[in-house]
Structure 1
Amino acid sequence: MSGLTSARGMLAMWGESCVLSLLVRTHGGARRVERRGTPMPFRVRQAEDPEAKAAIARAASELIADDDAVIFDNGTSAQAIAQWLAGRPITAMCLSLHSAVALGAKPGANIFVPGGQVEPDTLALSSVAVASALREFRADVVVLGSCSTSLEHGLATTTYDDAENKRAAMRAAARRILAVAPRKLNHVSTFRFGDIEDLHQLVTTTDAPADILAQIRELGVHVITVPAGK
C-alpha cells in the first residue's frame, strides 16, 4: 500500500480534520504523528509495518508449546500471534475479542475471555474485569505488545486501563514475551507498566538498532530477531 493510498484510506475512515492531525508529510506520502498520549485506532495500528508484524508474530508463536496456558494481550501484536496459533491445542485467556476471534478461526484451543464491558475499537475488556479474571488464572506465558520499549523508562502504553491490564497479565504468567517493532524501541509512551528486565524474551526484526538490542540482552532478556519479510 502506498503512502498516498494509506492516507486516502484514513481520510475515508475518519474524515479530513481528524486524519490531518495524525499525519505528517513525508517524501512520497505521509506517516502518523507519534504522540505519547494519543491511542491510535486499531485498524491504523494493524496496518503499520505489516511484513514486520507478521514475521515477529510467527517467531513469537514458535515460542508457545502445545498445552501451554497463554494470556493474549489486547493489541495488534497479540492478535497477529493468535492468528499463527489458531488450531493449536492451548488454553488461552484473551484480553481482547480481536485475539479471541483470531484464535478461534480453527478448532483446537480452549478460549476464555474476562467478563465485563468491551471497549470500542480495540475490543479490549475493562481493567476491572481483567484483574478479576487473572486473579483466578495462572499462565505458562503471556504474549505482550507495547507502545514503547525504552531502556530509560521501561515498557509503556498510551492508556491507564491498558497499563493495568498488562501489569495483571505479567503477574499471572510464568514467562513474558514481548513482540515489538523496531520503531517502538526507545520511544516513550505515557503509562508505564513494567521494566524491560521483567521480560524473558523479546522478539523484533533484524533492522532494530544493534546497540539497543545489546543493552537489552545485558539485562538478561533473550532477544530474538527475524528478517522483516520472513
Structure 2
Amino acid sequence: MIKEQRFEFILNKIKTDQQVTYEQIAGSLNVSEDTVRRDIDQLYRNGLVSKIRGGAMLPSRNPLTFQDRSNILSDQKDIIVAKALGFIKEGMTVFMDGGTTICALAGRLPSDINMRIITNNIPAIQLLVNYPDIELIVLGGVYERNSATNTGTVTCLDLERYTADLYLMGTCGVDDKFGVTATIESDAHVKRAMLRRSKKTVSLANQKILHQAEAFRVCDFQDLHAMITNMDSDHADLDGFRNLGVQII
C-alpha cells in the first residue's frame, strides 16, 4: 500500500473511532509501527490530526473559542486553581497568559494580596482590576479573538522589559516527548517570551490535554519547574511525566 493510501486509511479510521493507536494501524495495514508513526507525524504537521500518547486523534476544533472553553471542565479548573494558589506569594511579580483556567485563578486570589501581575489575558484583566493592592501591567499587541489575548511582536517586545518571579502558563497541550504546545502560533511566541523572562514556570494542565501535542511548539517539558493538574499526583495518567525533573502536583 502506498503512502497516500495509508494516509486515507488512517484519516478514515480516526473519523470513525475518534482516535487510533500506532499498534492498531500497523496491524490493520500489515506495516511496522515506525511506518505508522512517520505517517502520523506527516499528517500532524499538515494539521490533519492531533498526536496523543501512542497514537493520534481528531484535531482540536480550530480552535475552541474562549467562551466555549469557559463553559467546560469547571470542576477540573477549581482543583487546579486551588493547587496553583500555593505558588503565589506576597510581593511577587507574576506573568499570567491566556486561558480560562488563568481567569478562574484571577478571580480567586486573596482579596488583600500585594503583588504585581503582568498579563495579556483580556478577560482576566477585568477580574484583576478589582484587587486594590495588585499592580496590574497590561501587555500590548494585536487582539486575538479566539484566545481573548493580546499577541504578536508588540507583546513579545513588551515582555523583554520585565522579569517575573513566576509564570503561570495556560496550556493547550503537553506531552513528555513533544513538550508543551499551543493551538495558535502567536500564542506560542508569547509563551516562549514569558518563559525566557521568568525565574520559574508552572504549567496549568487539565487531564484532557495531557499526552496531546498541538501544532505549535512552546518548549520541552523539562523547561517547566512544575505541572499542576486536576488529578492526584500519583495518578497513572501522569506516569510518563515522572523522573523528568519537573514537579508534578
State the structure with bigger RCO (CA 8 A, min sep 6), 1 or 2.
1
1:212 Cα shift? 4.3
1:207 Cα shift? 6.0
For residue 194 of structure 1, what is the amino acid of its counterpart? C
1:121 Cα shift? 4.6
Decide which structure has the larger Cα Rg and report it.
2
Change (3 A) 1:104 1:153: same
2:86 is aligned to 62
1:117 is aligned to 142
1:201 Cα shift? 1.1
Runs of 4+ displaced beyond 6 Å: none
1:139 Cα shift? 0.2
* 2:221 counterpart of 1:196: yes
For residue 85 of structure 1, what is the amino acid of its counterpart? L
1:80 is aligned to 104
**TM-score with structure 1 length normalisation?**
0.77
Structure 1 residue matching 2:201: 3-state secondary structure: strand
- The alignment-based identity, stated in percent, is 25
Q: Which residue of 34, 47, 66 corresponds with 1:42? A: 66
Distance 1:223 1:128 in 2: 32
Change (3 A) 1:34 1:142: farther
1:91 is aligned to 116
Change (3 A) 1:34 1:56: farther
Structure 2 residue matching 1:202: 3-state secondary structure: strand
Q: Which residue of 141, 154, 158 corresponds with 2:183? A: 158
Distance 1:37 1:156 in 2: 15
* Equivalent pairs, count: 193
Change (3 A) 1:72 1:34: farther
Change (3 A) 1:86 1:131: farther
CA contact (8 A) 1:92 1:110 kept: yes
1:68 Cα shift? 0.5
Structure 1 residue matching 2:165: 3-state secondary structure: strand
CA contact (8 A) 1:148 1:188 kept: yes
CA contact (8 A) 2:142 2:152 kept: no
CA contact (8 A) 2:140 2:150 kept: yes
Distance 1:199 1:158 in 2: 19
* 2:108 counterpart of 1:104: no
1:127 Cα shift? 1.9
1:105 Cα shift? 2.5
**TM-score with structure 2 length normalisation?**
0.72
Unaligned segments of structure 2, at least 5 residues? 1-17, 19-56
